[in-house]
Structure 1
C-alpha cells in the first residue's frame, strides 16, 4: 500500500554551467547549505543538493529524502570550460516552460539591497513594474529566482538566512484542468491557493503536500512561509489555441531545468499505483541500471522523478 498524503515535494533540478559560480551564489548570496554531493565520474556528472538547514529552517536536520525545499544542481563535466555552453532558462521563446524557483525571506528590502550591492543582476527589482512586493534575481546561469516576503515580522536592518524558505517552483501549463487533475489525483498534492490576474490574462495555482487540518485554501495564511510548493502558471487560452505548440520541458535541447522530484512512502507500491492510474512513463523502476528511481511525465511532458523516502522505508534497491 502507498499513502499519497505522506509524499513530499523533495527537490527541483537545474543544470548549471559552472558549479563553483552556482554554489557561491546559492550558498554565499542566498544562504543555502550543501546537504549532499553525488559524483559520477564514470558518467561525467556531479549532483549537488542544497537546502536551508539553519536553526530556523523549516526542515532543519532532517534526512535529505524526508524533506522539502531542496535544490539539485547538475553539472556535466567540462561545461565550465565550454565557451559555447549555455543553459535554457525556460523564459525565452520558443523554449518557454520552466519559469523560476522562489525564495521567501524575512526582510525582502534588505535582502535585495544586499544582492544588488554584491553585484547580483536582477530581472526585476522591487521598484520595477506594478508589483512592488516581489523581485527576480538572476543566478549565474540566468535562471530567475523570485524573492518574496515570508510574512514573518521584520526587524529593521536585520536578515537571518536560516529563516529563509525555498518556497516554490513555477512551471507553465497549457491546460490547467488537466494539470490540476494530474498533480492532485495522481501525485496527491492539494490546492493551496489560486491567484487570478485578469488584466494580464493569467492564473496561478499553488499546490503542495499540506496536511494541516486547519489550513484554509486561498486564505493566504502560511503559504509564503511554506517549502515544497508547486506553482502552475496558466496563460489564458493556450488550452484552446490550435497554433500553440506546447511548452519546452527543459530536457529536450536546449537543456536547462530537468525535473521536480517527489519522495514516497513505498516506492514499489507507489509505482504500481501510478501504473494502475495509466501515467505516461519516462522511466520505470525496471528500466536501465538505476532501479531505485522512476520518472513519470505530467500533462505538459515535464519530468517528475519518484524516489524512496528512506526515513519511512529503505528501498530494496
Structure 2
C-alpha cells in the first residue's frame, strides 16, 4: 500500500473562536504568523492558520500542509457580536476533554513576564502552586496555553529578554479514558511514536507524548513541534459510564487535530483496512479533499494531503 506513516505530520489543531481579530492578535503576540486564510462566505465561516515562520522556526516557508504545530482558528460569522457566545475551553464541565495547547520558549521567566506585561491573563503563573517550571496563559476565548521552557534546566530567572523567533508550538493535550486503547490507536493506526511518558502516580495520572519523526533524546521533546499529549487519569477506564467531551457536541470549542499524509487516497485505504470509525470518508459530502477519523474517545482527526509530497488542486 503506497502510504508511509513516517512521512505523516501532526499538522494542526483547530479551535473555534469568538472574535478572530482578538485571537489572531494573541497568537501573533506569541510569535506566530498567519500563514493561510480560507474564506467560506457561502457557509458563513473563515479559517485562520497560524504557525511559527521566522528564520529560526522549524518549518519556515513551508506550505501550510507541510508543517507541524499549526493552530487553526475557526470563526463562524456573527459570534463576535453575540453576547451569549462562549467557546468551551475543555477544562470544565460540561465539555471537559481537550486540555490545552503548549508553546515552548527560550527563557520562560521572561516569556511569561512579557505576556503579563501585555495584559494577558493566566490560569497559572510560574509562581503559583508547586510546579514552578510551567505556566498557563489564557487566550481571548479562555483556552489554556501552557508555557514551558525548551531547556529543562532553565536557569533564566534573571534574564529579561525572550526571542519569540525560537518558540515552538510544542503540543496539544487531550484527556483520554483508556490509555491502553488510545496508545494502541495512535501508534498502530495513526503511525505515531511514543516519544516520552511522564508518570505521576502520587497524583493519579500519567502523560504520554506522541508524534511523528525521530524520537528525541530524553527531555528533548520540549524542542519539537506538533506533539500530541494524552492525559490519563487513573481509573476512568473502569467506569462504563465515563466519557470525555470531543469538543464538537454542545458546548463546542476544540474541533480536531489534523494529520497531513503523503497520499490521501492511499492513507484512507489504509485506515479502512484498520477498521477505523469514520466521521467522514473522502467520498462523503461535498468536500472530497478531507476525511475525518474518530479516535477511541471520539475526538475528530482530520486527514489532509501534504501538498509538498503530492500536489493537488484542492487547496
TM superposition score category, shorter chain reference = over 0.9
CA deviation after TM superposition for structure 1 residue 316, in Å = 6.5
Counterpart check, 1:149 vs 2:146? no
Worse-superposed segment, 68-77 or 150-159: 150-159
Counterpart check, 1:182 vs 2:185? yes
Query: Match for residue 211 of structure 1?
Result: 214
Query: Match for residue 221 of structure 2?
Result: 223
Give the conservation status (yes or no) of the 8 Å contact 1:265–1:309: yes
**Residues 106-117 of structure 1 mapped to structure 2, 5 A cutoff:** 106-117=106-117
Query: Match for residue 234 of structure 2?
Result: 236
The DSSP-based 3-state class of the residue aligned with 1:193 is: strand
Aligned length: 310
Please list every run of 5 or more consecutive structure 2 residues that lacks an aligned counterpart in the other structure.
none
Worse-superposed segment, 143-152 or 162-171: 143-152
Give the conservation status (yes or no) of the 8 Å contact 1:5–1:211: no
Per-residue deviation, residues 83-120 of structure 1 (Å, max 9, x unmatched): 01000000002321000000000011011111111111
Query: Match for residue 7 of structure 1?
Result: 8
The DSSP-based 3-state class of the residue aligned with 2:202 is: coil
Q: TM-score, normalised by structure 1?
A: 0.95
Partners of 1:289 and 1:226 in 2: how far apart? 35
The DSSP-based 3-state class of the residue aligned with 2:203 is: coil
Please list every run of 5 or more consecutive structure 1 residues that lacks an aligned counterpart in the other structure.
none
**Residues 23-62 of structure 1 mapped to structure 2, 5 A cutoff:** 23-28=24-29, 30-62=30-62
Partners of 1:199 and 1:226 in 2: how far apart? 28
Per-residue deviation, residues 261-299 of structure 1 (Å, max 9, x unmatched): 000000000000000110000000000011000000000
Partners of 1:266 and 1:315 in 2: how far apart? 10
Partners of 2:241 and 2:292 in 1: how far apart? 29
Question: Alignment RMSD, CA only?
Answer: 1.3
Counterpart check, 1:287 vs 2:287? no
Partners of 1:243 and 1:14 in 2: how far apart? 27
CA deviation after TM superposition for structure 1 residue 198, in Å = 1.2
Partners of 1:211 and 1:124 in 2: how far apart? 32
Per-residue deviation, residues 2-46 of structure 1 (Å, max 9, x unmatched): 000100000000000000110111112x11100000110000000
Per-residue deviation, residues 117-147 of structure 1 (Å, max 9, x unmatched): 1111100000011100000000000000000
Partners of 1:55 and 1:316 in 2: how far apart? 29
Partners of 1:226 and 1:125 in 2: how far apart? 23
Per-residue deviation, residues 240-263 of structure 1 (Å, max 9, x unmatched): 02342x000000011000000000
Q: TM-score, normalised by structure 2?
A: 0.96
Give the conservation status (yes or no) of the 8 Å contact 1:292–1:315: no
Partners of 1:67 and 1:316 in 2: how far apart? 19
Partners of 1:243 and 1:311 in 2: how far apart? 44
Partners of 1:197 and 1:34 in 2: how far apart? 37
Query: Match for residue 18 of structure 2?
Result: 17
